[in-house]
Structure 1
Amino acid sequence: MKSQNQKLSIKHWAEEDRPREKMLQRGASSLSDAELIAILIGSGNHSETAVQLAQRILHTVENNLNTLGKLTIKELIAGFKGIGEAKAITIIAALELGKRRGNTDAPQRDKISCSRDAFQLLYPLLGDLPHEELWIILTNRAGKVIDKKKISQGGTGETSADIRLILKSAIQTLASGILLFHNHPSGNIAPSTHDDLLTQRLKKAAKLMDISLLDHLIIADNRYYSYADEGRMNED
């Protein structure tokens, strides 16, 4: 029988109490500072688990990560049994990354407020192609671009569209809006019957998932046709 002073190996903890498993189940934000540090150092010492060691480290700096970040590698090694050079370097490197992230501006996403915005975003990819390609732009509720993706590639006259692939991409990125694009290598921007059918099918399918088909643009040379601009997105 284990004595009360003998630590319980981390592999014997309840799964929800293990930092790595807890992160997988609940996300990084559910972990305490000590649990995050425990993941970094990986193991404790003969008398402490990684979490207990991390808690003790934080206690010495009054649980202040900024103060922890000011400790040197030598101070971490000398001050805490179980912290060697590799673990000390890992802690300092992680804190430095956090500091740099705080000083970095979040990337600005493209925003689509009209068909011209959408055209300018995809024209460089589709404008000069000798064959047809079908693309989508996925947006959030503010009209900011989450992702753009090629769905299919065809010949000189037509490309196929798998609505399931389009919706899968939208669902995976939690998009609220879809803009559909394809090019006409012939130079004729007029939509075909096939284009009309695809627009209506995708609009109805997306609506079932509470996703809006915002527009369908046909690009040819330096021109484009917009279903939304032509008032055709409200057609049944």
Structure 2
Amino acid sequence: MASEHDSVAASIELLWFRPALGKRGPRPKFTVDAIVAAATAIADEDGLDAVTMQRVAERLGTAKMALYRYVPGRAELDAVLLDRAFGGPPRSPARDWRSALAAWALALHERSLAHPWSVTLAQRPHVPGPGELAWYESGLDAMSDLPLSGGEKLDVLALLAGHAQSMVRQRAGGSQPEQNLAAQLGPVLAARSADYPRTSAAFADAARDGGRDAGLHFGIDRILAGVAALIAERTDSART
């Protein structure tokens, strides 16, 4: 069984240096891209737990052992699977950092929502691939002129990504979690509103002003407002 160190090294090799198959021997029947496409289709249809080397092999019409010529194992397959799901970030027309980062977070949410299982992979320890690093580069470029340290800029991206992806967990399958919760609690709150007056009032208010399931935009706005406040604080300090 490969060690964790060996698995990381193999993932780096596969993501970044894509080892070329030898010229000798039979012509390759498959490609890493074809294997990842099959795994992606399985994950989209039946969830991440359904993705096994055996299941991928069956989808491609081959034996499981034939896949190891291209992908060393499941951990390495997951690394490429995640990077393909992320893809590269879209170009943002926004010129100011705040609009650019908001667009960045919304795009990441949309990309993750297309493959909800990618959130599980993203939150596990993993080797970032070219696609994921392109997201880093795009987000950091939007903050290039801000008076933040490199670590703080990475923390901003982590906060935005964490929020966007947590919303994917709630919305996977097209559900509206707050609306669903309100429907489930409706009879309870109607009967017990005196016991939970603030909760009853909050749900009723959200229904009236269309504030349900607005957590994605609310969270992004609040994160960026916090960054703006930090920048203003530092600018003021520099002037005194």
Q: TM-score scaled to structure 1, two decimals?
A: 0.24
Q: If you compute each CA radius of gyration, which structure gives the higher value, 1 or 2?
A: 1
Q: TM-score scaled to structure 2, two decimals?
A: 0.23
Instruction: Choose between structure 1 and 2: higher helix proportion.
Output: 2
